[in-house]
Structure 1
Amino acid sequence: MNFYHWILLNNIADPRWWLLFISVFWPWIVWWKLVIKKRLFEILTYGLLWAAMATWLDLLGTSEGMWEYPFKLYGKVSCLLPADVSVIPVLYMLLYQYGERWKTFLLGSMLVSSLLSFVFEPLFLKLNMLNLITWTHIKSWFAFIFLGLVTRLIIIMLKKAQQKFLVD
């Protein structure tokens, strides 16, 4: 495929394409400026776990017909990779970093979930970048909160296992 065919196939003249393209890099730049470097490995592990889960669940949701993306960064990929590997993990890594206590983390998770479910999703619907088929915003809200808590719990258990391993 030549370069011009690729440009036509991927709609790079569309502002929505640029929104998705920028959303791959911009959150990571912001994150790098804000991350506590002493906790880099722990926070990045949390985020990479989030990215893996978000991508897998997005692929599952699209393949099961719960939602679809009429407009994507790259047309041959069924999921919305900029959200799965950048926007969502970065938001949750910042939450993990600043929400060290469970209560703070839970409240922050509700806030981040609200932002993703009730601001970003409706915006993507309006821009014709998302089509909810059997899925709803409230399902997203509960799923984001649940996954945030489970991911935090996994990291806490891994940290305890690591400490035990280092002591033994």
Structure 2
Amino acid sequence: MNQSTWQAVLQLSEKVHQANHELIHIWQSEMLFRWEWWVEAAISVVPWILWAFYRKRESTSRLVHAGIWVIVMCSWLDFLGVCLGLWVYPMKLIPTIPSFVAYDFTLVPVVIMTLLQYRPQWSPLLKACIFAAATSFLGEPLFIWLKMYEPIHWKHIYSFPIYAVIYLIAHLVSRAKTYDPL
């Protein structure tokens, strides 16, 4: 890497640092402990508590494995969308994470894990379409209405195939035959 490229990277890194510093200041003064913050905090915790009580206990490892895969994919895709300017989150539970914590780390994985164990004989494609439709056309508009999500260069229909694929891969992960006793 030449010296001018190195300097450009350092300057951009400083801009990112400054933007994060400003965001933390706004978060502390304008977001922390507002009703939206409390809603996101509740959405981040309550579904996990409910899932812990109602999950199929003997399938916990399989479900958690699929759930972790979902968390990684959702948070990575969400981070990519924010970086590309496709959407923004005006409210943040945690100011240093660009993704929507409640959605990526709780709602999407917990709903998918619940669907995986509920009516396992149903077609995974049908469940994927139901999940994708509900998430894209009900979940996203709800969070827009709550002013927690704002699409900039994104339409709900774009999310449908992504959510369907995420569900289908989680289904495959949860059905892996590689689980053996330690």
Paired residue for 2:14? none
Cα 1:21–1:131 change in 2 (3 A) is same
Which of 113, 130, 153 is the matching residue for 1:134?
A: 153
Alpha-carbon offset, residue 114 of structure 1 = 1.9
TM-score in terms of structure 2 length: 0.77
1:118-156 CA distance string (max 9 Å, x none): 112112112221111222111111110111112222443
| Structure 1 match to 2:127 | 108
* Equivalent residue, structure 2, for 1:23: 43
Residue in structure 1 matching 2:85, options 61, 65, 74: 65
Mark the runs of 5 or more structure 2 residues left unpaired by the alignment: 1-24
Shift of the alpha carbon at 1:26? 0.5
Measured at CA, do residues 8 and 101 of structure 1 come closer, stay the same or move farther in structure 2, by a change above 3 Å?
same
- 1:20-46 per-residue CA deviation (whole Å, 9 max, x = no partner) reads 000111000111111110111111111
RMSD after superposition: 2.1
Answer whether contact 1:10 1:75 (CA < 8 A) is retained: no
Paired position in structure 2 for 1:55: 75
Matched, 1:83 2:103: yes
TM-score where L is the length of structure 1: 0.83
2:174 is the alignment partner of 1:160: no
Identity of aligned residues (%): 29
The answer on whether the counterparts of 1:10 and 1:74 sit within 8 Å (CA) in structure 2 is: no
Cα distance in structure 2, aligned partners of 1:161 and 1:128: 43
Consecutive unaligned residues of structure 1, counting only runs of 5 or more, are: none
* Residue identity in the other structure for 2:43: S
